[in-house]
Amino acid sequence: MNCLGWNCRGLGNSRTVRALNDLVKNRKPDILFLSETISDANKIEKLRVKLGFAQGFSVVRIGRSGGLALFWKTNVDCSIMGYSQNHIDLAVNVHSVANWRLTLYYGFPERARRKEAWDMIRNLARLSSLPWCIMGDFNDLLYNADKKGNNLHPRALMEGFRSALEDSMLSEVDLTGGLFTWEKGRGTSDWIQERLDRAFATREWWLKFPLCNLKVVSTPVSDHDAIHL
């Protein structure tokens, strides 16, 4: 089973939809998660049909920002456990593998809301005892090596994020194919690259999927690359 996550930065551009179609054709995800769709439910449903997914679920945008979309194939049994503007939580059953939990996550982009984001992760960790994986755009950094260019990321923010993960008993899924997943200002002296898109899992989940890996997938139309679990 594989899951593809992408902060697409809006689905109103035909180039974005074409890029998404290519991603789905090439990567063949069983589960597809999109953040920052900036779209209404009707457009999301049309996209689900266009991409050939059996079922879907969406969290509509507020104003001109946000929005989440989740699609899955017939070979995957997904049950929505909860959702908000920042996450979709589901129980997953695939083939003979007993239920496990997948949370698709989009962290607050505002730095002033970092503590709120960390507390959300802690609260999500308490909601279920199922083997758990959480993936998406966390809008947060763990280490100085997660950023290239401009000023160093504040130490207190990195420590706060690490503390939330430790409290939630989560360890990171190694990322291959690139060190960074987001960029700004390419070709200028202000070029910044950061590792914002990640996946984490509990020990119980690792015991189910010891050979799992996470890959960066380059995308031409968003400042975020996709991640493929």
How many Cβ atoms sit within 10 Å of the Cβ of residue 189?
A: 7
Whole-number pLDDT of residue 122:
98
CA 94 vs. chain centroid, Å, equals: 20
* Interval 74-91 mean pLDDT: 95
> To which residue do tokens 């962290």 refer?
107
- CATH number where 9 lies: 3.60.10.10
pLDDT digits (tens, 9 = 90+) for 86-101: 999 999 988 767 799 9
189 falls in which pLDDT band (50, 70, 90)? confident
Q: Strands, DSSP E only, in the chain? A: 3-7, 31-35, 55-59, 68-72, 76-83, 87-94, 97-106, 132-137, 147-148, 171-172, 175-176, 182-184, 192-194, 197-201, 214-217, 226-228
Q: Strands of 214-217's sheet, edge to edge?
A: 55-59, 68-72, 31-35, 3-7, 226-228, 214-217, 175-176
Whole-number pLDDT of residue 96:
67
Q: Which two tokens stand for residue 79?
A: 């049950």
Specify the number of domains making up the chain.
1
pLDDT digits (tens, 9 = 90+) for 147-162: 999 888 999 999 999 9
Where residue 72 falls (left for φ over 0; alpha for ψ -120 to 50; beta otherwise) is beta
> To which residue do tokens 């991640």 refer?
227
Cα distance from N-terminal residue to C-terminal residue, the chain: 9
Domain around 126: 3-228
Q: What proportion of the chain, given as a percentage, has pLDDT over 90?
A: 86
Q: Does position 176 have pLDDT exceeding 80, yes or no?
A: yes
Q: Does position 135 have pLDDT exceeding 80, yes or no?
A: yes
Amino acid identity for residue 157 in this structure: L
Instruction: List Cβ neighbours of 15 (8 Å cut-off, separation of 6 or more).
Output: 220, 221
Contacts 24+ apart (CB under 8 A), 158-166: 160/114, 160/115, 160/118, 161/114, 161/118, 163/118, 164/117, 164/118, 164/119, 164/121, 164/122, 165/121, 165/200
pLDDT digits (tens, 9 = 90+) for 22-73: 999 999 999 999 999 999 899 999 999 999 999 999 998 776 778 999 999 9
Which of 17-21, 92-96, 140-144 shows the lowest per-residue confidence on average (mean pLDDT)? 92-96
pTM of the predicted structure, to 2 decimals: 0.95
